Amino acid sequence: MGKYSFIHGLWGIYSNKNNFWSRLTKCETDIKLYKLNPYSPKTVVYIFGEENFKHMSDLGFDCRLIDKRPYVWDMEKEQYRHKMEIWKAGAEEFDAITFLDWDCIALKPIPDNFWHVINQGEPIKSPLYMYRQKRVNRPNDARKVSSASFVYIRGKEHMPAMIELWENTGRPLKEEYTLTLYIDNIDGGWKGIGHYQKYDVPFYEMTRGIYPKEKKDLVFGHYSSGVIQGLIGKDKNVKDRIDKWAERL
């Protein structure tokens, strides 16, 4: 049996001068719900910044410090390169990882067969997301992008190759566009949504996702800050609010 883990990441400083810099502040609310939610799985958090590391360790998370600096790449142009470094660190430590953004919420207990199911098939999986505008350089389906909110990676060889692709395809490039190109390249280019379905992730669904899940199979969802704040409420009965929310889906 291999060594598997859910992972999260954190980088940045507390600054709300614009949307690029406010990410750490937003994550605080998501992290609060993660701690309050009884369905949240055990996770390893890869962190940039010694103060961020201490803060998350004090909250009880199992943490790894990637760099003493709170950010390494330009926060307004290349901040999501940090996420790729987090995937790399996780893939080096574990045989397989499932990365979750902090606003991915567990809606029920993680099934016993989670790792058995997700380990089947392709070594990289990511839900296909539909943007409102063109995002990738494809002759067709240019609005469809591999989402970086929930990413499964099996094998440490993928991230050095993906980072090299990021370096060679025109910095700055968001991590999800590099992920999209990397998955496309596995099969020699984009082959359409029917072919891509083998790279979809089980147990997870997001707004404007291409492949809807049966309700019985849905374990994780991706939600807005307004929904997350509503689920937190006044810290009490969070489980009841999550259960009721899941019932409405």
pLDDT, tens digit, for every residue of 95-114?
999 999 999 999 999 999 99
Work out the pLDDT band at 247, boundaries 50, 70, 90. Answer: confident
What pLDDT is attached to residue 174? Answer: 87
Work out the pLDDT band at 1, boundaries 50, 70, 90. Answer: low
Please choose, from the candidates 13, 9, 32, 35, the residue with its C-alpha nearest in 3D space to the C-alpha of residue 24.
Answer: 13
The mean pLDDT value for 177-183 works out to 95
pLDDT, tens digit, for every residue of 35-79?
999 999 999 999 999 999 999 999 999 999 999 999 999 998 999
* The CATH number, out of the four listed (1.10.3470, 3.90.550, 3.40.30, 2.60.40), of the domain defined by the range 4-248: 3.90.550
What pLDDT is attached to residue 24? Answer: 87
Segments making up each domain of the chain, as ranges: 4-248
Share of the chain above pLDDT 70, in %: 98
Q: Are 122 and 199 in contact (CB under 8 A)?
A: yes
Share of the chain above pLDDT 90, in %: 69
The mean pLDDT value for 184-192 works out to 93
Q: DSSP secondary structure string, the chain?
A: ---EEEEEEE---S--SSTTTTHHHHHHHHHHHHHH-TTPPPEEEEEESHHHHHHHHHTT-EEEEEESSS-SS-TTTSTTHHHHHHHHHHHHHSSEEEEE-TTEEE-SPPPTTHHHHHTSS-SEE--EEE-SS--S--SS-TTEEE-SSEEEEESTTHHHHHHHHHHHS-SS--HHHHHHHHHHHHTTS---HHHHGGGPPTTEE-TTBSSPPPGGG--EEE--HHHHHHHHTTSSSHHHHHHHHHHH-
Rounded Cα gap, residues 92 and 86, in angstroms: 10
> Whole-model pTM?
0.94
In one letter, which amino acid is 149?
A: S
Of the given ranges (2-6, 21-25, 53-57, 196-200), which has the lowest mean pLDDT? 21-25
Mean pLDDT of the chain: 92
